[in-house]
Chain A
Amino acid sequence: MTVQTAERPAAVRGGRARPAPDRRLTRHRAVMLLFIAPALIVYVLMVIAPSIQSIQLSLTDWDGINPAYEYVGFANYQDILTSDRFWNATKNTLILGLGSAVVVNAVALGVALMLDKLHHAQGFFRTIVYLPALVSGFIAATIWKYMLNFNFGAVNTVLRDLGFDDAAMDWLGDNDIVVGVLLFIICFTLGGNTTLIYLANLQSVPQDLVEAARIDGASRGQVFRYVTWPMLAGAVTVNMTLMMIAGWTIFDQVMVLTAGGPGFVSETMAFFIYKVGFGEYRAGYGSAAAIVLFIVVLATTVLANKYMRSREVQA
């Protein structure tokens, strides 16, 4: 009805009809779709389609090599959920995911606060803080592997040379500490981006609010607690979410540093999926584990995000 009303004046004028707004909008949409089509096609082919296919594969006994396979129902899921190895990988993923999110955010906020207060050479120190983030996780892990080698590594050599022989440990081979060492290395590598996001947010806190609080007699701590911290709520949400997702999918550091060992002790979910799917010729089983990981990541991220968003509203 609306379309007919819009077209009538042009026909009455007898001039060249201008495209109706709806049609123009449709054309614009078509053009926009055409622009995003290449990326969309690649994304669908490379990410969405394989992801959906992994649901199908998770119900099979495919070894990942032989084109022949059989459907096994939910047997893979049953095996996974009753496997100690899987739950150990889940526990490690939670420790590394939540741990790195909390530690990196706390340290990054502290560093960002210090950088914000710097009046000289801020660019230099900002670069220093960000440098580890420029190195790929694989390369950084390889460097750490050499440094932490029990017999020849720099860390133990320095400790022994200083006379602290008992402090020299098998950092990557001692099952009591290996997950903690991984957490340390992951935090070290991932802190740069988080710091910069906090720093950018700190520098956008309105100074008139800070000055008003100070005039009202607020101490430094009170200014941070009641002015700066609420203004950082959005950045905290973004940083925590990004860090948790990075934590859930930690792979390269584990692959390089411990290969999940000694034994299975430092396997994470992402590494577990890779190991069973690729190293143990159990692609069906690995696909089922990937589906479980997806559900865990989705659930925890949504819950954590919901909590942090509610905090933003309160702020």
Chain B
Amino acid sequence: MRNARARSSAGSMPTRGLSRRSLMQSAGGLSIAAAVPFALTACGTSGGTTGGKTAIRFLYATGDETWNSVAKGVADAFNAKSATAIVELEPLPAGTDYPTAMKTMDATGNWPALVDMRDTLTYLEAGKLAPIPASVTDLLNDEVYAPVEDGDVYIVPTTALNGELGFNMVYDKDYFAEHSLAVPTTYAEFIALLDAIKANGDAPLATAAGEIWPSDQLWKPLAAPTFAQYSEAGGFWNAVRAGDASLADLREPLQRLKDITDEYVLEGWQSTQDAQTTTLLVNRQAVMATSSAGIGRLNDVNKVDPDFNAGIFYLPADDGKLNVLKNSVNGDTASGFAISAQAQEDGKQYDAAVEFLEFYFSVEACDLMEETGMIAPNIKASDEVVRNSTIPGAEDYFALLANPSLNWFANETTWAGFSTFHTFFRQARIEMQDGQTTIDECIAKAQEEFDNQAENE
């Protein structure tokens, strides 16, 4: 107690122990000390150099292990080869949804040079992206990229542009063979298949909504026949915006979503994460699992259990058509590589990003991607790429591409506010699937949100 009081007294009489001058110097020193972290922070955001090379960051969305391996493999190969640049991988944390992570990154003003882009229109309109030069686009087939209104290209694909063909059902082929089950060719056959598996006392389908976005994996193929009807007219969402369609037109697919969830989906889907569905399948806790990774998911299954005999099919419509979304290479739904405007301001970072993209679209890198289990992007030198046909089940994916029932459709969203609605709609659907709201309530809620967002545009 005495010591405390003595210290307190000393504090109240500064002129005795410390001169005013020394106090001023101390205070000034503190001010500088406080400023140092800011200076250091400012230095840390630019990327800088590593061993004389320009270091750039590559931010990408994780999800399936195959894409993670491809990103790492190509970056490592590039880093070993390049004399001027080095790519540092920056995976988005698992469990975060993409818009949240992107917005958080944007709020820090700390953009990586290379971004695995979503919600492209939002960021393009905000001036956050830099044009991709002809030295990159010249390596690609003409149909997989396109300039926007200002004549520049801002996004190029990370993988083969097969739309949403990767939104598959992954299934246990041995189980199908054992129980004389066949891949369904119509929606009715699909329901019959689910009934047959359920009758065997097994869980037909594992799906995930723990991270919100995987809830699309079951929804999108179910809604595809409705969306496809509006393909020629500019897409369903634009029709809703124009008043030519409404959310009520999605009642049937929403009803099907609810029925499948209630009757056939493995319990616990609300908190299950995307990657866990692979484990559920391989552990034989479910006979089928939803996926949006196409061959990548087959590769994951093969890694977890090389003896597991996996196959994939796409959910057919009532008429047997396989309606698959394939939007134009621009628009808000376009995804792929983008270079940040922040990198362009830096100059060196932009050059390094361009160098990496030139490598990414080389035959050498494409071979590496195929070897790792991902279908390489559509480059002009595709004939020279060594295709990987060793992944069990991959033949099912290639068969889908050649399936006569395959019907590509477009559902463009040409307004940035759709991203906001899209996130909301996912959660509203999960809420409905979970029984917290009725289908009518879900439709009304989603329509209100859609109208609000459209009005704000």
User: Which B residues have a C-beta under 8 Å from some C-beta of A?
Assistant: 14, 20, 23-24, 26-28, 30-31, 33-35, 95, 97, 99-100, 103-104, 106-107, 119, 122-123, 125-128, 209-212, 267-272, 276, 279-280, 285, 416-417, 419-420, 423-424, 427-428, 430-432, 434-437, 452, 456
Contact = CB atoms under 8 A, between A and B. Distances in A.
A57 to B, nearest CB: 12
Given A65-B126, A66-B125, A278-B99, A150 B268 contact: yes
B34 A265 contact: no
Interface in A273-287: 274-275, 277-282
Contacts of B420: 63, 280-282
Contact of A152 (B27, B127, B276, B434): B276
B195 to A, nearest CB: 23
Interface stretch (A31-39, A93-101, A246-254, A299-307): A31-39
A116 interface: no
Contact of B431 (A39, A63, A262, A279): A262
A264 B425 CA distance: 11
A27 interface: yes
Contact of A42 (B34, B95, B209): B34
Given A66-B125, A281-B103, A31 B267 contact: no
Nearest to B32: A38
A282 B271 CA distance: 26
A172 interface: yes
Given A31-B14, A149-B271, A259 B95 contact: yes
A39 B431 CA distance: 45
A150 B210 CA distance: 11
Contact of B103 (A65, A173, A265): A65
A151 to B, nearest CB: 6
B430 to A, nearest CB: 5
A84 to B, nearest CB: 8
30 contacts: A31-B24, A35-B27, A35-B30, A38-B34, A39-B34, A42-B34, A63-B122, A65-B106, A65-B128, A66-B125, A66-B127, A67-B127, A149-B271, A150-B272, A172-B271, A173-B209, A173-B210, A256-B95, A259-B212, A261-B209, A264-B427, A275-B100, A277-B103, A279-B97, A280-B419, A280-B423, A281-B119, A281-B417, A281-B420, A282-B420
A27 B24 CA distance: 11
Interface string A165-197: 000001111110000000000000000000000
Given A151-B279, A281-B416, 8 more contacts: A27-B20, A31-B24, A35-B26, A67-B127, A72-B456, A259-B97, A262-B271, A275-B100
Contact of B452 (A41, A66, A79): A79
A64 interface: yes
B279 A152 contact: yes
A261 B106 contact: no
A28 interface: yes
Q: Which of A66, A256, A261 has the most chain B CB within a 10 Å cutoff?
A: A261
A260 interface: yes
A281 B23 contact: no
Given A41-B34, A65-B123, A173-B210, A262 B436 contact: yes
Interface in A120-160: 149-152
Interface string A59-79: 001011111000010000001
B103 A261 contact: no
> At the interface, is chain A mostly helix, strand, loop or mixed?
loop
A31 B99 CA distance: 47
Contacts of A61: 456
B268 A265 contact: no
Nearest to A261: B430
B271 A64 contact: no
Given A66-B126, A151-B268, A173-B271, A279 B27 contact: no
B99 A280 contact: yes
Nearest to B211: A259
B427 A263 contact: yes
A258 interface: yes
A189 B100 CA distance: 26
B100 A278 contact: yes
B83 to A, nearest CB: 36
A66 B106 CA distance: 10
A265 B209 CA distance: 14
B31 A278 contact: no
Q: List 10 tightest A-B contacts by C-beta distance, closest first.
A: A263-B431, A173-B270, A150-B268, A173-B271, A38-B34, A279-B100, A34-B27, A66-B126, A262-B270, A278-B103
Nearest to A258: B271
Contacts of A282: 420
Contacts of A275: 100
A278 B97 CA distance: 10
B416 to A, nearest CB: 7
A256 B93 CA distance: 11
A152 B276 CA distance: 9
A196 to B, nearest CB: 20
A67 B271 contact: no
A71 B417 CA distance: 17
A171 B23 CA distance: 58
Nearest to B457: A61
A61 B416 CA distance: 13
A280 B267 contact: no
Contacts of B27: 31, 34-35, 37
Contacts of B432: 263
Nearest to B27: A34
A279 B212 CA distance: 12
Contacts of B34: 38-39, 41-42
B268 A170 contact: yes
B284 to A, nearest CB: 12
Contacts of A38: 30-31, 33-35
Contacts of B419: 280-281
B128 A151 contact: no
Nearest to A38: B34
Interface in A35-59: 35, 37-39, 41-42
A312 B269 CA distance: 50
Nearest to A170: B268
A64 B419 CA distance: 13
Contacts of A264: 427-428, 431
A245 to B, nearest CB: 24
Contacts of A171: 271
Given A79-B452, A152-B276, A263-B436, A281 B269 contact: no
A262 B104 contact: no
A175 B433 CA distance: 12
